Structure 1
Amino acid sequence: MFDTTVESTYVWLGLAIVSAGILGFALRVPTAPPPDAKPVARTIDSVAASPHEATARHPVDARRIRIGAHRVGLRGPGGDAHASLAYGPVVRVAGGDGDRLRRVLRGVPPERAFGSETTFARVLDRTRTREPSWQPAPETLIVRRVTWGDANATLVGA
């Protein structure tokens, strides 16, 4: 009456394995939703679609950001979110681009930051062709559309 049958040992062992699997799955489920990349993409598109020079700022609620020529991605504790840009390509201004492009992003006219229109165009082309990578996300993303002669671009950065 008090002896354990062989079948019940296997049942308990199987139940323990299934319970451990369910617990492992439950612990892997994110506790927060992924950040929303669509509002960031809409802000970038609204500036890029402008026929005139324009500037916008958008708060970013994510830990990391990846800005490509035609796509933006946000990464947070709940996962990743991506959105396509309708008006591209855009130029990502990151830390390695030097101060000149960052100064233009923050409002300095390109003719004051660069020596010539061809230099400006060359820097834009070189920056556009860079492979996007995940960077720490700023609190506020700055988007600016600039034009100098034949060179025009939508700059995105912090």
Structure 2
Amino acid sequence: MFETHVDATYAWLGLAVVSVATAGVAATLPASPPPDASGVAHTVETVATGEYPATAEHGIAADRLRLTPRSVSLAGDGGRARVSLRGARITPIVPGEGSGARDRRLRRVLDGVPPDAVFDDPDALAAAARRARAADHGWRAAPERLTVRRIHYGGVHVTLVG
């Protein structure tokens, strides 16, 4: 009456192994989806390809951010996401700007100061933008919001992102 069937023992062992394997796979899955780099890229491209000066902001749900003149990359608990920009080149403005390739004047313009109040002439703006695009574009702590501003000063058209 209390006999153990050999087949039942193997079935229980097999079920236990499958359960442990399933739990292991579930534990390795990310807890959250990857950051939304395509949404950020869409906001950047909408402003960058516009005909007129414009400003936009986009919220970021990521831990780290990498901006280059041709791409936006985000990283967080859910992984990494990178999107190439198809429109005009952007000018990344990184936090903690100092002298040299990182120009505080560009940060002021991104924050809303008119370019003619910050730069002596359009050539000075173009030179500062070139230096910012050529600077190091490494990973940085991501802010809560990304600001995109397209400006026109004389014949110079620049899209600042920071």
Fold conserved (TM > 0.5)?
Answer: yes
2:124 pairs with 1:119:
yes
The alpha carbon displacement at 1:121 in A equals 1.1
2:137 pairs with 1:135:
no
Task: Give TM-score scaled by structure 2 length.
Answer: 0.78
Query: How far apart, in 2, do the equivalents of 1:116 and 1:21 lie?
Result: 66
The percent identity for this pair of structures is 40
Contact 2:103 2:128 in 1 (8 A): no
Query: Which residue of structure 2 lines up, in the alignment, with residue 9 of structure 1?
Result: none
Query: How far apart, in 1, do the equivalents of 2:103 and 2:127 lie?
Result: 14
The amino acid across from 1:101 in the alignment is: L
Query: How far apart, in 1, do the equivalents of 2:42 and 2:155 lie?
Result: 25
Query: How far apart, in 1, do the equivalents of 2:114 and 2:31 lie?
Result: 44
The amino acid across from 2:77 in the alignment is: P
Query: Which residue of structure 2 lines up, in the alignment, with residue 148 of structure 1?
Result: 153
Task: Give TM-score scaled by structure 1 length.
Answer: 0.80
> Which SS does the other structure have where 1:72 is aligned?
strand
Q: 1:121-154: per-residue Cα shift (whole Å, max 9, x none)? A: 1111111122421111111110000111222111
Q: List runs of 5+ in structure 1 lacking aligned partners.
A: 1-15
Query: Which residue of structure 2 lines up, in the alignment, with residue 77 of structure 1?
Result: 77
Contact 2:103 2:132 in 1 (8 A): no
Query: How far apart, in 2, do the equivalents of 1:89 and 1:121 lie?
Result: 13
The amino acid across from 1:67 in the alignment is: L
Query: How far apart, in 2, do the equivalents of 1:127 and 1:20 lie?
Result: 52
Query: Which residue of structure 1 lines up, in the alignment, with residue 51 of structure 2?
Result: 51
Query: How far apart, in 1, do the equivalents of 2:120 and 2:23 lie?
Result: 62
Query: Which residue of structure 2 lines up, in the alignment, with residue 10 of structure 1?
Result: none
